């Protein structure tokens, strides 16, 4: 892909929820060093510097979200949750959601060895893209983009209190193993209005796989997802 077309750029911006003022910085964020070395006349830089910047901004946004949360997490809890959210696996999921693989500018060698599907290249591209947003717009806009991308993942990790998003993991495993999504059902709620406890069950193909309780529906679903994952691992 020698250049990114206007249509490609619009597609990326639509998925990202952000429109670039400087389209060149977007293109740079998706330019791998293999392309740069093979096509020096078509690229004045590649994305590693933007990747470094994006990694730092991403870490700051996630750390700020945990720090400002009313639950006042300890340093150890924040570190554990942050490590989970900014790891390669989660970034690869985001890259897949954004379909970044088809937009990357890769050299022929990297292209021939499946570079568009490589976890490391795609996760790096997400960080580079966030770095490009920061250069184009500043911290507050980049923070909004990041929080939009991470969506429920951030809250799910907080609810799990273990630095892990059990609901997202169960969804991925269900789609991979069974080809369906898990079905959560709130089966009980007890207690006074301000002290309610919810019980959730999760079904896969109408079979009960896990149950759990929590102070909110989401927390109960997270506990149910954790139990379901443990059962899947035992199979």
Catalytic status, residue 111: no
Neighbour count for residue 83 (Cβ, 10 Å): 12
Please tell me what DSSP assigns to residue 188. Answer: E
User: Which residues are bridge partners to 32 per DSSP?
Assistant: none
Catalytic status, residue 127: yes
Residue in 51, 55, 124, 136 annotated catalytic: 55
Token pair listed for 8: 């490609």
Classify residue 191 as exposed, middle or buried by CB count within 10 Å of its CB (0-12, 13-18, 19+).
exposed
Residue in 127, 136, 165, 219 annotated catalytic: 127
Token pair listed for 233: 């691992």
Half-sphere exposure of 88 (CA within 13 A, CB side): 6
Neighbour count for residue 234 (Cβ, 10 Å): 6
Token pair listed for 137: 């717009």
**3-class DSSP state of 118:** coil
Residue 128: CB partners within 8 Å, gap ≥ 6? 28, 29, 30, 47, 48, 50, 51, 54
Neighbour count for residue 19 (Cβ, 10 Å): 14
Residue with tokens 């990790």: 157
Question: Which positions are annotated as active-site residues?
Answer: 55, 127
């Amino acid at each position: 892909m020698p250049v990114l077309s206007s249509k490609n750029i619009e597609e990326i911006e639509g998925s990202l929820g952000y429109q670039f003022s400087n389209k060149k910085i977007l293109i740079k964020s998706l330019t791998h060093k293999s392309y740069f070395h093979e096509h020096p006349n078509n690229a004045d830089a590649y994305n590693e510097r933007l990747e470094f910047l994006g990694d730092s901004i991403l870490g700051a946004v996630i750390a700020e979200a945990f720090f400002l949360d009313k639950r006042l997490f300890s340093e150890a809890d924040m570190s554990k949750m942050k490590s989970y959210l900014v790891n390669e696996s989660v970034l690869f999921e985001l890259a897949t959601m954004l379909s970044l693989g088809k937009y990357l500018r890769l050299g022929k060698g990297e292209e021939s060895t499946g570079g568009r599907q490589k976890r490391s290249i795609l996760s790096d591209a997400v960080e580079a893209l966030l770095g490009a947003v920061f250069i184009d717009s500043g911290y507050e806009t980049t923070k909004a983009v990041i929080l939009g991308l991470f969506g429920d993942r951030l809250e799910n990790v907080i609810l799990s209190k273990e630095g892990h998003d059990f609901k997202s993991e169960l969804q991925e495993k269900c789609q991979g193993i069974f080809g369906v999504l898990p079905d959560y059902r709130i089966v009980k709620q007890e207690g006074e209005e301000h002290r309610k406890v919810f019980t959730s069950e999760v079904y896969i193909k109408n079979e009960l796989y896990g149950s759990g309780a929590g102070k909110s529906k989401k927390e109960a679903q997270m506990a149910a997802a954790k139990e379901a994952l443990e059962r899947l691992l035992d199979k």
